[in-house]
Copies of this chain bind each other. A is one copy, B any other.
Amino acid sequence: MAAEASPRPHSDLERDVLEAFWAYERALKANDVDALDEAFSAGESALRSDGTTVTVGASEIARMRRVRAVIPRRAVTSVHVVPSSADGALVMASLRSPQGMRGTQTQLWERRDDRWRVVAAHVTSTQAPFDRSVWRVLGAPLVAGASEGECAGLRVAVKDLFAVAGMTIGAGIPERAALAPRESAHAWAVDRLLAAGADVTGIAQTDQFAYGLAGQNGRFGTPLNVAQPDRVPGGSTSGGATAVALGWADLALGTDTAGSLRVPAAYQRLWGIRTTHGMVPRDGVLPLAPSFDAVGALARDVDTLQRAIRELNPSASRQAPGGWMTVPALTRLADDDARSLVNQIARHTGARECEWGIDLDAAFTAFRTVQAAEAWHAHGAWITDHPGVLSDDVAERFALASTVADADAHRAYAVIDEVRATLRDQLGDRILVLPTTSTQPPPLDASDEEMNAHRARTLRLNCIASLAGLPAVALPVGHDGTSVCLVGPAGSDLALLEVAGDLHASFSGQGES
């Protein structure tokens, strides 16, 4: 935890200060204010900040502790020690609230007369900030759900494409949020979750019009990738993914046209599901490309997703699919790590390698053509009426979309019909295992070329389920949380989640394997 000149020269000091640190944590848990006073320096130079206000002097600090005492429900998830002298050390601890919110506590400890005392402390509480890159609107809650039900207690981040009664749909664009009409009713999916007892915590940010996979939003800002802070968070269900990863929400309700749930799940090591196309009503959801748009969700664990999908798609089948398959042409689109993971899973499940008779490039081109044509059909008029409001990358995408000729779109639809039939036929009642994304998420400062290359390969992987209209579950596997994707037969949403849960357990060493 601290080593600079020679290897761990301060280990005695570290051990001693950590002993004092943990005693302090126990006193905090018990709200033993006398012990806390005792552990704090009695000096008038003692400092304490709650992040907002600095309190100076032991007596003031003791008084604050008494009047504002709240027993902090938090766990210490990691501790770092930096020695400051032969009798002193700084201890920095990562905190986690029961709901998963993160904080940090820094203390400077000093030993005098063989007693350790805190001479300065700074806590960033595990209270969630209002982060405009994550939320457009946040409430306490924004909409309360039914008092009981299968989803009672779930805090839902609703992607800003779903109608929330009384609010506008902003779709990641401030002007749209300001100017769109207020919705008179909740989207079907929102209503369903509320009826099952979930609360809508807030409206979460998205790539503009959901036309992106990186999660970067030039207007509201780019949410943090919690798992890999120097990389893009993934989108378009971007704000919801970060809210879930940080514990600010339990479930992100989102949409997936070409990976908008699977990609942020992969980038942030979450669970994500795109439901069978057309099975979850899209009433009250702003479309991007209706031929592919599907409702779905993200969560930190499979149980939460199962609770949500039982409500959103109650007629989905729970019957286990009939076997496993991989497609080398798809597996090869990913880097070594993901490839080897898919191969490991294939061995574990006895998956059959199948080379299917599909021209992936032609299918992908048809997909992008129809997606673009439908996106322009849905939003072209508004975009034309509101010049200058889109971020450059999204504006470019729509500019290209505006040029799709009707004849090209018609041809693309024909290709898609055929590809869909072939895909469904080849899959049968099996599960297809493939990498969720081609690589780890690109760094935030990746060049446009890198970003586009990554996007093209990842879209090729994701468009399979979109083209076939099939359900897909992205799950983190193994010790590093690399994501794999399972695509199942139409209507197998719940069965897929079940299987994914078992697979995860096996590969985390918790199952029979």
Once bound together, how far apart are the Cα atoms of A46 and B110, in whole Å?
19
A31-52 to B contact mask, C-beta < 8 Å, 1/0: 0000000000001111101111
Check B3 against A49 for contact (C-beta < 8 Å).
no
Which residues of chain B come closer than 8 Å to A135, judged between CB atoms? Answer: 138, 140
Q: A179 to chain B: closest CB distance in Å?
A: 8
Most buried by B among A3, A94, A140: A140
The digit string for A115-143, where 1 denotes a CB below 8 A from any CB of B, is 00001101011011111100111111010
**Residues B130 and A82 in contact, CB atoms below 8 Å apart:** no
Asked whether A94 and B54 contact (CB < 8 A) given A82-B47, A127-B129, the answer is yes
User: Which A216-273 residues have C-beta < 8 A from chain B?
Assistant: 220, 224, 226, 229-230, 246
Q: A347: CB under 8 A from chain B?
A: no
Establish whether residues B108 and A90, one from each chain, have CB atoms under 8 Å apart when the complex forms.
yes
Dominant SS among interface residues on chain A: mixed
Contact A4:B44 (CB < 8 A) given known A120-B106, A124-B122 = yes
- Is there a chain B Cβ closer than 8 Å to A92's Cβ? yes
Q: Which of A59-67, A149-157, A207-215, A316-324 contacts B (4 or more CB under 8 A)?
A: A59-67
B139–A165 CB distance below 8 A? no
> Are B138 and A139 interface neighbours, CB within 8 A?
yes
* B137→A1 contact, CB < 8 A: no
Given contacts A84-B88, A92-B120, A140-B136, contact A53 B229 (CB under 8 A): yes
Are B140 and A220 in contact, CB atoms less than 8 angstroms apart?
A: yes
Count of identical protomers in the assembly: 2
Chain B residues within an 8 Å CB radius of A86: 85
Q: Are A178 and B85 in contact (CB under 8 A)?
A: no
Q: How far is A256 from B370 in the complex, measured between Cα atoms in Å?
A: 58
Chain B CB within 8 A of A167 CB:
yes
Query: Contact string, A94-120, partner B, CB cutoff 8 A, digits 1/0?
Result: 100000001110101010000000011
Q: Which residue of B lies closest to A144 (CB)?
A: B178
Q: Are B80 and A47 in contact (CB under 8 A)?
A: yes
Residues of chain B lying within 8 A (CB to CB) of residue A122: 92, 104, 106, 122, 124
With both chains docked as a complex, state the minimum distance between the C-beta of A128 and any C-beta of chain B, in angstroms: 5
User: Are the CB atoms of B182 and A68 closer together than 8 Å?
Assistant: no
A365 CB → nearest B CB, Å: 33
Check B82 against A119 for contact (C-beta < 8 Å).
yes
Q: Are B444 and A230 in contact (CB under 8 A)?
A: no
Q: Contacts of A389 on B, CB cut-off 8 Å?
A: none
- Evaluate contact between A44 and B166: CB separation under 8 angstroms: no
Docked complex Cα distance between A323 and B63 (Å): 45
Residue pair A54, B230 in contact (C-beta under 8 Å): no
Inside 8 A of A137's CB, which chain B residues have their CB?
Answer: 137-140, 142
Given the complex of chains A and B, what is the CA–CA distance between A246 and B80 in angstroms?
Answer: 31
Q: For the complex, what is the distance from the CA of A230 to the CA of B55, rounded to whole Å?
A: 11
B124 touches A124 (CB 8 A): yes
Cβ distance A226 to chain B, nearest Cβ, rounded Å:
8
Chain B residues with Cβ under 8 A from A178's Cβ?
A: 144
User: What are some 17 contacts across the A-B interface (CB < 8 A)?
Assistant: A49-B92, A49-B94, A49-B104, A49-B106, A50-B104, A52-B103, A52-B246, A54-B78, A67-B230, A82-B120, A84-B119, A92-B120, A104-B122, A108-B108, A128-B129, A137-B140, A144-B174
> Which A positions have Cβ atoms within 8 angstroms of B?
1-4, 43-47, 49-56, 63-64, 66-68, 78, 80, 82, 84-86, 88, 90, 92, 94, 102-104, 106, 108, 110, 119-120, 122, 124-125, 127-132, 135-140, 142, 144, 165-167, 174, 177-178, 182, 220, 224, 226, 229-230, 246, 443-445
Give the top 8 A-B pairs by smallest Cβ distance, nearest first.
Answer: A166-B166, A51-B124, A85-B85, A144-B178, A84-B84, A49-B104, A106-B122, A132-B140
Q: A51-B102, A137-B140 are in contact. List 16 more A-B contacts (CB 8 A).
A: A3-B45, A49-B124, A51-B51, A51-B124, A52-B124, A80-B120, A82-B120, A85-B85, A85-B86, A92-B120, A127-B130, A128-B130, A130-B130, A137-B137, A137-B142, A166-B167
